[in-house]
């Protein structure tokens, strides 16, 4: 039996928890993006967004690829597809029709002074498409674009994996050298403009998934990442600081140079954080098991609560950073409470892809 790599689970829930302050900070972005709710520009919070955005969602696609490698050891390709439909497609549809529809409703109130009820707004949400952001109240997959992309990528990956297993059953990348890993960023650079929708490249995310499946799941590669984690993270740090300085504080940048820095920050961030997590975060405790078992639902539900609190308390006079922290704390508490309710209701559990209720002292299967 293959020993479970707890650092992969732990890294996943950490990244998903980080979505709460990330999405909260978008209400103060300084590059003019409307967002569902926008309070005005704040360079400190905008710097956090720009610093982390190159690597934290790409890392989730890599982790999905690594997890798929282990999943297919115990499942047939058909079983895997059925599992993806149940775990990704059903929650995607359920989440769009509930949480995302609510986000678009609040955005329509905020930006367009919409006066109808939430249920009346379905006639707007389901019958209009514009730029797919949802900031105008129209249809969008919202923050669940990750589920949509991952579902499509999973379906596309299975035929490739089947062909590889049939014609190249002994294919292995465990002899990859450090310089070969570094060059992989060129693949991402070439893939980024392809099938890029609103800054989210399906082609690049597909490459990240396959890189996770074929290369970054190899134990010899992971050992290499652990050994060189500080080098990779220093490169990521330099690229991210340059991005923040140019994009947020100077406001004048060259697109080509910014793209190069983003891709480098993304790839070396993935390598460095994976190596650091393997070295420091391979824990299996009550808390890590609890957060790991709830991370999928946290991803789905957090944005609805976050936007609700931002809207309800919009007129409270507090320093921005204090208001930001309070909103984040309230969102974490109410989201976890929502997760507990959903886990105890069979119908909701099914549609939102939640595991059945298990005492957190036990390991979720």
* Residue 223 neighbours by CB under 8 Å, 6+ apart: none
Angle ∠(87,73,5) on CA atoms, nearest 5: 80
Average pLDDT over residues 293-317: 96
**Quick one: what percent of the chain has pLDDT higher than 90?**
83
Most confident of 35-44, 165-174, 177-186: 35-44
Average pLDDT, the chain: 92
pLDDT tier at 332, thresholds 50, 70, 90? very high
Average pLDDT over residues 329-355: 93
Q: Helix, strand, or coil here: 196?
A: strand
Does the reported pTM lie above 0.85? yes
* Residue with more model confidence, 62 or 359: 62
| pLDDT at residue 261 tops 80 | yes
> What is the separation of C-alpha 94 from the centre of its chain, rounded to a whole number of angstroms?
18
Supply the pLDDT for residue 336.
97
Q: Are 178 and 224 in contact (CB under 8 A)?
A: yes
Supply the pLDDT for residue 1.
55
Average pLDDT over residues 142-152: 97
Supply the pLDDT for residue 356.
57
* Residue with more model confidence, 24 or 360: 24
pLDDT tier at 359, thresholds 50, 70, 90? very low
**Distance (Å, rounded) from C-alpha 57 to C-alpha 146?**
8
| pLDDT at residue 295 tops 90 | yes
| pLDDT at residue 255 tops 90 | no
Supply the pLDDT for residue 58.
97
Strands (E), the chain: 196-197, 200-201
Helix or strand run (H / E) with residue 315: none
Q: Helix, strand, or coil here: 362?
A: coil
Supply the pLDDT for residue 361.
36
Q: What is the DSSP letter of 87?
A: I
Lowest mean pLDDT among 23-32, 93-102, 307-316, 348-357: 348-357
Tokens for 329? 């704390």
pLDDT tier at 365, thresholds 50, 70, 90? very low
Lowest mean pLDDT among 2-11, 168-177, 307-316, 353-362: 353-362
């Amino acid at each position: 039996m293959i020993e479970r790599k707890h650092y992969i689970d732990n890294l996943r829930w950490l990244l998903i928890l980080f979505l709460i302050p990330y999405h909260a900070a978008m209400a103060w972005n300084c590059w003019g993006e409307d967002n569902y709710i926008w309070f005005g520009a704040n360079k400190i919070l905008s710097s956090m967004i720009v610093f982390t955005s190159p690597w934290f969602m790409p890392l989730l696609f890599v982790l999905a690829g690594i997890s798929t490698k282990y999943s297919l050891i115990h499942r047939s390709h058909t079983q895997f597809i059925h599992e993806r439909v149940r775990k990704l497609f059903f929650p995607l549809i359920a989440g769009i029709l509930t949480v995302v529809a609510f986000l678009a409703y609040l955005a329509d109130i905020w930006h367009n002074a919409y006066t109808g009820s939430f249920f009346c707004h379905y006639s707007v949400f389901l019958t209009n498409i514009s730029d797919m952001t949802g900031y105008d109240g129209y249809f969008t997959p919202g923050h669940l674009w990750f589920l949509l992309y991952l579902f499509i990528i999973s379906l596309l990956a299975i035929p490739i994996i089947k062909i590889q297993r049939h014609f190249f059953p002994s294919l292995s990348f465990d002899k990859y050298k450090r310089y070969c890993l570094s060059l992989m960023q060129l693949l991402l650079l070439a893939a980024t403009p392809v099938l890029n929708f609103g800054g989210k490249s399906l082609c690049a995310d597909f490459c990240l998934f396959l890189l996770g499946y074929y290369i970054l799941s190899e134990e010899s590669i992971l050992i290499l990442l652990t050994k060189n984690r500080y080098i990779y993270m220093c490169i990521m740090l330099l690229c991210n600081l340059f991005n923040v300085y140019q994009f947020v504080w100077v406001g004048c940048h060259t697109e080509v140079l910014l793209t190069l820095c983003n891709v480098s920050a993304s790839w070396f961030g993935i390598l460095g954080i994976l190596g650091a997590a393997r070295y420091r975060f391979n824990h299996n405790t009550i808390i890590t098991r609890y957060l790991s078992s709830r991370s999928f639902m946290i991803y789905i539900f957090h944005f609805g609560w976050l936007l609700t609190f931002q809207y309800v308390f919009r007129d409270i006079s507090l320093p921005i950073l204090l208001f930001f922290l309070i909103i984040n704390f309230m969102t974490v508490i109410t989201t976890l409470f929502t997760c507990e309710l959903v886990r105890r209701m069979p119908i909701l559990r099914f549609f939102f892809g939640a595991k059945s209720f298990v005492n957190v002292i036990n390991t979720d299967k």
